[in-house]
Structure 1
Amino acid sequence: MKQYYLFLVFIFFNSCQYFDKQIPSEKELLQKELKSINWKEVDEYPSVVDCEKIEDKKQRQQCFFEVLTQLIQQKLSVDTLSILYPELDTIEVKVTVFPNATLQFEPQFPKDSVAYDTIKIDSILKARLVDFPKINPAIKRGIPVKTQFILPVILKVE
């Protein structure tokens, strides 16, 4: 029996090493979690009401781009852009969706483009691209985030 107690005492003192593990600090855990997050992608892309019923992530994104492009084309179709610049058939628009569901539009021009009055085109776009339907911002880990993308908008449909 004495050997049994000695064995239990030996086991007891050796088992303490299993309880004496280092607990990582908050900063270490935070850094590990931040490294594991893919900052290039969002969990849910921005969306409009018409696309909410689509379950597939890629199809919902495609639906959103199509609806937004179509809305921009409709708003610009009754404008003077095609009259002022008949050679301009497509314009790339940088769209920013903010976490509070507001939109910002910026035309993108080639670096060597001097043929266009960029300030005039920018002012026309800002005047026309208003009153959009409610847009739900992108979601990353349950938090609304800012997203940006470039949409090619066709000005002339022949």
Structure 2
Amino acid sequence: MRVFALCCCFFLLLSCDWLANPESKTQKLVEDELRGIDWNDVDQYPLFEGCDETASKYEQRSCFELTLMQNLGMSLQEFRFTSKTDLQSTVHIDFLVETTGEIQVVEMQNDSALQDQIPEFREILIRSLRNMPKPEPALKRGMPVRSRFRLPLEITTKQNG
């Protein structure tokens, strides 16, 4: 009789999970899956036309950065910047590649000497980034996601005249 009572108690403890509704089970599975995702990394980096989507993530990132720098360099060559003194500075540009492929400048850190010497540089750089060809957005689990990047840009000018 004791064995039967022990088995019944054991069965009752295990059967509680059987009585749970399917929605709560599904919700628990989804929550467990979401906790297991590394949201700081993407499955595929943003890609410009000409970048191989089947390449490794390292190659995808390299292609994205190289194409971005080439497009930005070509865009900035159209402008003639002049300064009163020799200037060497690094500008850090934080930008987002939106789910639509649009590039949004979030923040731009530059020193006051660059701002004093070339006040229009910030607006020209932002306009150049916005006007370049749109990349395909980054992908996480097959879905387009926003991705944030930091671009260091070295600026060197020689005194005019």
TM-score (structure 1 length as normaliser): 0.71
| Structure-1 separation of matches of 2:53 and 2:79 | 33
Aligned position for 2:92: 92
SS of residue matched to 2:44? coil
Paired letter, 1:48: F
The answer on whether the counterparts of 2:98 and 2:137 sit within 8 Å (CA) in structure 1 is: yes
Aligned position for 1:140: 140
Seq. identity, %: 27
* Per-residue deviation, residues 52-72 of structure 1 (Å, max 9, x unmatched): 255222111111111111111
Out of 116, 119, 123, the residue aligned to residue 114 of structure 2 is 116
| Structure-2 separation of matches of 1:124 and 1:100 | 22
TM-score (structure 2 length as normaliser): 0.70
Report how far residue 140 of structure 1 moved.
0.8
Alignment CA distance shift 1:36-1:42 (3 Å): same
Aligned position for 1:32: 32
The answer on whether the counterparts of 1:47 and 1:137 sit within 8 Å (CA) in structure 2 is: yes
SS of residue matched to 1:48? coil
Report how far residue 156 of structure 1 moved.
5.1
Aligned position for 1:5: none
| Structure-1 separation of matches of 2:155 and 2:78 | 10
Q: Matches of residues 51-130 of structure 1 in structure 2 within 5 Å?
A: 51-52=51-52, 55-81=55-81, 83-84=82-83, 86-88=86-88, 90-105=90-105, 108-109=108-109, 113-117=111-115, 120-130=120-130
Gaps in structure 1 of 5+ consecutive residues: 1-9
